[in-house]
Amino acid sequence: MAAAGHPGEDAGLYEAVKAVGEELCPALGLTIPVGKDSMSMKTRWQEGNEQREMTSPLSLVITAFARVEDVRHTVTPQLSTEDNALLLIDLGKGQNALGATALAQVYRQLGDKPADVRDVAQLKGFYDAIQALVAQRKLLAYHDRSDGGLLVTLAEMAFTGHCGVEANIASLGEDPLAALFNEELGAVIQVRAADRDAVDAVLAQHGLADCVHYLGKAVQGDRFVIEADGHAVFSESRTTLRMWWAETTWQMQRLRDNPECADQEHEAKANDNDPGLNVKLSFDINDDIAAPYIATGARPKVAVLREQGVNSHVEMAAAFHRAGFDAIDVHMSDLLAGRTGLDDFHALVACGGFSYGDVLGAGEGWAKSILFNSRVRDEFETFFHRPQTLALGVCNGCQMMSNLRELIPGSEAWPRFVRNRSDRFEARFSLVEVTQSPSLLLQGMVGSQMPIAVSHGEGQVEVRDAAHLAQLESKGLVALRFVDNLGKVTETYPANPNGSANGITAVTSESGRATIMMPHPERVFRTVSNSWHPENWGEDSPWMRIFRNARKQLG
Q: State whether 169 and 194 are in the same domain.
A: yes
Which residues are 191's β-sheet partners? 85, 139
Q: Residue 162 phi/psi, 5° resolution?
A: 50, 50
What is the number of other CB atoms lying within 10 angstroms of the CB of residue 171?
Answer: 14
Q: Determine the Cα–Cα distance for residues 244 and 155; give it in Å rounded to an integer.
A: 11
Distance in angstroms between the alpha carbons of the first and the last residue of the chain: 63
Q: Tell me, yes or no, whether 2 lies in a domain.
A: no
How large a percentage of the chain has pLDDT more than 90? 91
Which residues are 461's β-sheet partners? 417
pLDDT tens for each residue of 517-532 = 999 999 999 999 999 9
Secondary structure (3-state) at 152: helix
Which amino acid is residue 101, in one-letter code? T
**Closest of 324, 285, 283 to residue 302, by C-alpha:** 324
Beta strands in 422-519 (DSSP E): 426-434, 449-456, 460-462, 478-482, 504-508, 514-517
Q: State whether 128 and 25 are in the same domain.
A: no
Secondary structure (3-state) at 249: helix
Q: Tell me, yes or no, whether 484 lies in a domain.
A: no
- Domain range for residue 531? 291-419+461-476+507-553
Lateral strand order in the sheet of 390-394: 326-331, 301-306, 347-350, 390-394, 514-517, 504-508, 478-482, 426-434, 449-456
Q: State whether 78 and 50 are in the same domain.
A: no
Total domain count, the chain:
3
Catalytically active residues are 395, 520, 522
Q: State whether 310 and 372 are in the same domain.
A: yes
Is the pTM here over 0.85, yes or no?
yes
Q: State whether 25 and 85 are in the same domain.
A: no
Q: State whether 92 and 25 are in the same domain.
A: no
Q: State whether 25 and 84 are in the same domain.
A: no
pLDDT of residue 69 exceeding 90, the answer is: no
Q: Determine the Cα–Cα distance for residues 459 and 399; give it in Å rounded to an integer.
A: 8
Q: Tell me, yes or no, whether 454 lies in a domain.
A: no
Q: State whether 44 and 108 are in the same domain.
A: no
The pLDDT value given to residue 34: 83
Secondary structure (3-state) at 426: strand
Which CATH number belongs to the domain containing residue 548 in this structure?
A: 3.40.50.880
Q: Tell me, yes or no, whether 434 lies in a domain.
A: no
* Residue at a domain's end among 189, 217, 248: 248
**Cβ-contact 497, 505 below 8 angstroms:** no
**Residue 406 pLDDT level (bands cut at 50, 70, 90):** very high
The pLDDT value given to residue 65: 87
Q: What is the mean pLDDT of the chain?
A: 96
- DSSP for 350-419 reads EPPB-GGGGTTSTTHHHHHHHHT-HHHHHHHHHHHHSSS-EEEEETHHHHHHHTTTTTSTT-TT--EEE-
Parallel, antiparallel or unpaired: strands 390-394 and 416-418 = unpaired
pLDDT tens for each residue of 371-395 = 999 999 999 999 999 999 999 999 9
pLDDT tens for each residue of 186-238 = 999 999 999 999 999 999 999 999 999 999 999 999 999 999 988 999 999 99
Q: Tell me, yes or no, whether 92 lies in a domain.
A: yes
Cis peptide bond N-terminal to 494, omega within 30: yes
